[in-house]
Chain A
Amino acid sequence: MNIETNNQLIKVTGLTSGMELREINQIFNGLKFQLKESMRVEFDLGGASSSDPGLIILLKSIVTLSAEKRFSVGFLNLSDELQALLEKSGIGKDGSYTDINAKSKGPASIFLTLGAAAYKFFDDIKSIIGFSGSVLIVIGKIIRNPRKIPVQETLYYLDKTGVDAVPIVSLICFLMGMILGFQGITQMKRFGIDIYVADLVGLGIVRELGPLMVAMICTGRAGSAFAAEIGTMKVSEEIDALTTMGIKPERILVVPKIMALIVAMPLLTIIGDIVGIIGGTVVSLLASDISFSAFCNRTLQAIVPANVFESLLKSIVFAVLIASIGCLRGMEAQNDAKGVGRATTSSVVSGIFMIVIADALVTFTYPMLVLYITGMPY
């Protein structure tokens, strides 16, 4: 093989078949070093076999490089057979290059990227709300036909998502109560209003931290487990099997999970609220001179039934969201192991995100709801 360099033109002649990849790599590196912008390289392919893989790799590498380094490529004595092979790789007979995978690449500009991300975000929210709604409709239909209620499956998930979560919920809420109590008492002591730490702990836990912490724990435990379970079922064609049996996968797979979580989460939230208040009480009593009875009286005065309803309402909204997102992500999973992993991660990330949004919505609208129902300000 010869490489002749003449000013702006490099001519490669005598290319033979059967070159080893190491040899090809050397030729490519040599040409890569010599070729600069607006130069031209010509390959005389007269003696080359069209079925030689090494030759095709070399030509493809050079042509791909030409698009990047802006030099031109030409072929001499190109056979029809070799031309057809090169065209399959996006290489024209004039040495031009078309990226045949260009479609799969993402948007080119930052605006398109942002636009695509925003579109995906709103599309995502729409699909989560749509899915939650369709599942609630299915639940409504099932309740009218009690024979169809999947009692056994619901109890199974109630055990897994509810009973099994009691220790971790208790521990986390106890610690959150202690932290809240400690932060509160250290500040309030300075102003001599130690007793109001009972209000802070009671209301903070019941209205906000209790349902929120339980939701976070359930997202990590239940939401991800639902996504992984349904995603794996999708990979092993179990979802297809249900569909072709005429059974709605939502009814068999999603409904028991949502029903279980709708029951489990309010109960867990009540446990979390009580344990959280106990945690706050313990630390507040230890760090101040408030008596136990005074603290309890203040707590009972601070918490009104509407606060408990807020806590329970939030937990039910969160339960529907967590179970729906987990199941939806599982249903959307790609049919491979990576897809299941992505679905699991996405169920947790989207779950937390949607919980925070829903929490804000309920927190801001609940006082209006109370005012509307009772006629009294919250």
Chain B
Amino acid sequence: MSADNDNIIEVTGMTVGYGDYVILKNLNFSVRKGEIFVILGGSGCGKSSTLKHMIGLSKPLSGDIKIKGRSIVSASEEERDEMTREFGVLYQSGALFSSMTLEENVSLPLREFTDYSPEMISAVAKYKLSLVGLEQFADFAPSEISGGMKKRAGLARAMALDPDILFFDEPSAGLDPISSAELDKLILELREKMKTTMVIVTHELDSIYSVADRVIILDKEIQGIIDEGDPRYLRDHSTHEWVREFLNRLSMRG
């Protein structure tokens, strides 16, 4: 079954939760090819859980998630492993393997899923590191670099297999405003160069105006999506007062 021409991810009727505990109910949204899609909301509203469900780390209590037309929910373990190669994930902490150098980290998916020669793998890994400005740190261990560099290295690893979709879990968390702005710039550059679809989960309002094409705003009270659209439009025209206040707080700060 093929996906809708425009939609690369389709979430239908998804209930997010664990066991008997429901966090979000009946989520319906789609992500278009090539766009930067932001999942926004306050702390504890279920943003990261939504992401975990979308990348197949947890199963939704109900509903479906289709990535490029294939359901990740009903996929067998083998199919899911295969589907995960279509996307990369940048975790909050970077999630680099501490026993490996940055080059080895980026090489790992290449070693696992390609038949490239070791020299070729090394060259690809260094190229990916150069895209995030870390080529000269290829031989460094994760413990020897800063938090921002770890995230960039994690991004290089997420891009190793040239995925069509990149997921970001709170990319700005723990970064100072300058590093955060640099990461936003990098995200835009990568989209420009590689035409990758990006799904970003964040509660950092500061970066959404610079990167987001479209946002959905999750709300803990209604356990669902309270509003959806262009963040600049929602800031001024959302029918929900809470959303306008939420997004204008950023404008007041900025």
A246 touches B85 (CB 8 A): yes
The interface on chain B, measured as residues whose beta carbon lies within 8 A of the other chain's beta carbons, has a size of 24
Within 8 A of A (CB), among B202-216: none
Q: Given A243-B57, A244-B55, A245-B109: A237 and B93 within 8 A (CB)?
A: yes
Query: Contacts A237-B91, A237-B92, A237-B93 given: A244-B57 contact, CB under 8 Å?
Result: yes
Cβ contact within 8 Å between B81 and A238: no
Q: Does A37 have its Cβ within 8 Å of any Cβ on chain B?
A: no
B238 within 8 Å of A (CB atoms): no
Separation in Å of the A232 CB from the closest CB of chain B?
8
Do A245 and B93 form a contact, CB below 8 Å, given A236-B98, A238-B98, A240-B57?
Answer: no
Q: Are B95 and A246 in contact (CB-based, < 8 A)?
A: no
Instruction: Return chain A residues, CB-CB under 8 Å to B93.
Output: 236-237
Complex CA–CA separation, A236 to B143 (angstroms): 12
| Assembly CA distance A240 to B58 (angstroms) | 11
> Which partner residue on chain B sits nearest A241 by CB separation?
B95
Q: Is A247 an interface residue (CB 8 A)?
A: yes
Question: Could you say which of A236, A241, A244, A246 contacts B82, with CB atoms under 8 Å apart?
Answer: A246
Report how far A12 CA is from B127 CA in the complex, Å. 75
Give the residues in chain B near A247, CB-CB below 8 Å: 81, 108-109, 112
Q: Give how many A residues have a beta carbon under 8 Å from the other chain's beta carbons.
A: 12
**How far, in whole Å, are A237 and B89 apart by their CA atoms in the complex?**
11
The residues of B that contact A237 with a CB separation of less than 8 Å are: 91-93, 95
Task: Give Cα distance in the complex from A238 to B150, angstroms.
Answer: 13
Query: CB-CB < 8 A to A243: which residues of B?
Result: 56-57, 84
Rounded to whole angstroms, the CA-CA distance of A233 and B57 in the bound complex is 16
Separation in Å of the A2 CB from the closest CB of chain B? 39
A residues 200-237 in Cβ contact with B at 8 Å: 233, 236-237
Interface flags, B56-96, vs A, CB<8A=1, else 0: 11000000000000000000000011111101010111011
Tell me whether B98 and A246 are in contact (CB under 8 A).
no
Q: What residues on B are CB-neighbors of A244 within 8 Å?
A: 55-57, 84, 87, 89
Q: Which residues of B contact A246 (CB under 8 A)?
A: 80-85, 112-113
Task: Knowing A241-B89, A244-B57, say if A236 contacts B84 (CB, 8 Å).
Answer: no
Give the distance to chain A from B26, nearest Cβ to Cβ, in Å: 25
Task: Find chain A residues with CB under 8 A from B108 CB.
Answer: 245, 247
Instruction: Write the chain A residue with the least CB distance to B113.
Output: A246
Q: Are A245 and B84 touching (Cβ within 8 A)? A: yes
Closest-by-CB residue of A relative to B160 is: A245
**Would you call B95 and A240 a contact (CB within 8 A)?**
yes
Docked complex Cα distance between A247 and B87 (Å):
13
Distance between A61 CB and nearest chain B CB, rounded to angstroms = 27
Q: In the complex, what distance in Å separates the CA atom of A238 from the CA atom of B57?
A: 13
List, in ascending order, chain B residues with CB within 8 A of A233's CB.
Answer: 97-98
Contacts of B87 in A (CB 8 A): 244
For A238, list chain B residues within 8 Å (CB).
95-98
**A241 contact set on B, CB distance < 8 A:** 89, 91, 95, 97, 154, 157
A245 & B112 in contact (Cβ 8 Å cutoff): yes
Binary contact track B39-57/A, C-beta < 8 Å → 1, others 0 = 0000000000000000111
- State the CA gap A237–B91 with chains docked (Å): 7
Q: Which residues of the partner chain A approach B85 to less than 8 Å between Cβ atoms?
A: 245-246
Residue of chain B at shortest CB distance from A148: B112
0/1 interface trace, chain A 31-46, chain B, CB 8 Å (1 if under): 0000000000000000
Interface string of B150-166 (1 = CB under 8 A from A): 00001001000000000
Per-residue CB contact flags for chain A residues 299-342 toward chain B (1 = under 8 Å, else 0) read 00000000000000000000000000000000000000000000
What's the least CB distance linking B163 to chain A, in Å? Answer: 10
- State how many angstroms separate the Cβ of B40 from the closest Cβ of chain A: 21
Considering only residues 143-197 of chain A, those with a C-beta below 8 Å from chain B are: none
CB distance from B79 to the nearest CB of A (A): 10
Cα of A245 to Cα of B93 in the assembled complex, Å: 16
Q: Given the complex, which residues of B lie within 8 Å of A245, measured CB to CB?
A: 84-85, 108-109, 112
How far in angstroms is the closest Cβ of chain A from B190? 18
Which residues on the A side are within 8 Å of B56 (C-beta)? 243-244
**Nearest A-chain residue to B78, judged by Cβ:** A246
Residues of chain A within 8 A of B95, CB atoms compared:
236-238, 240-241
In the complex, which of the residues A236, A238, A240, A241 has the most CB atoms of chain B within 10 Å of its own CB atom? Answer: A241
- Tell me, in angstroms, the Cα distance from A245 to B87 when the chains sit together: 8
In the complex, what's the smallest C-beta–C-beta distance from B224 to chain A, in angstroms? 21
How far, in angstroms, from A240 to B56 measured CA to CA in the complex? 10
Q: Mark A229-268, 1 if CB is under 8 A from B, else 0.
A: 0000100111011011111100000000000000000000
Chain B residue numbers with a CB within 8 Å of A248 are: 81
Q: Which residue of B lies closest to A240 (CB)?
A: B57
7 additional A-B residue pairs with CB within 8 Å, beyond A240-B57, A240-B91, A247-B112: A237-B91, A238-B98, A240-B95, A241-B95, A241-B157, A243-B57, A243-B84
**Pairs A–B under 8 Å by Cβ, sample size 6:** A243-B56, A243-B84, A245-B109, A246-B85, A246-B113, A248-B81
Complex A-B, nearest 9 residue pairs according to Cβ-Cβ distance, in ascending order: A237-B95, A246-B81, A241-B95, A246-B84, A237-B91, A244-B89, A246-B85, A244-B55, A245-B109
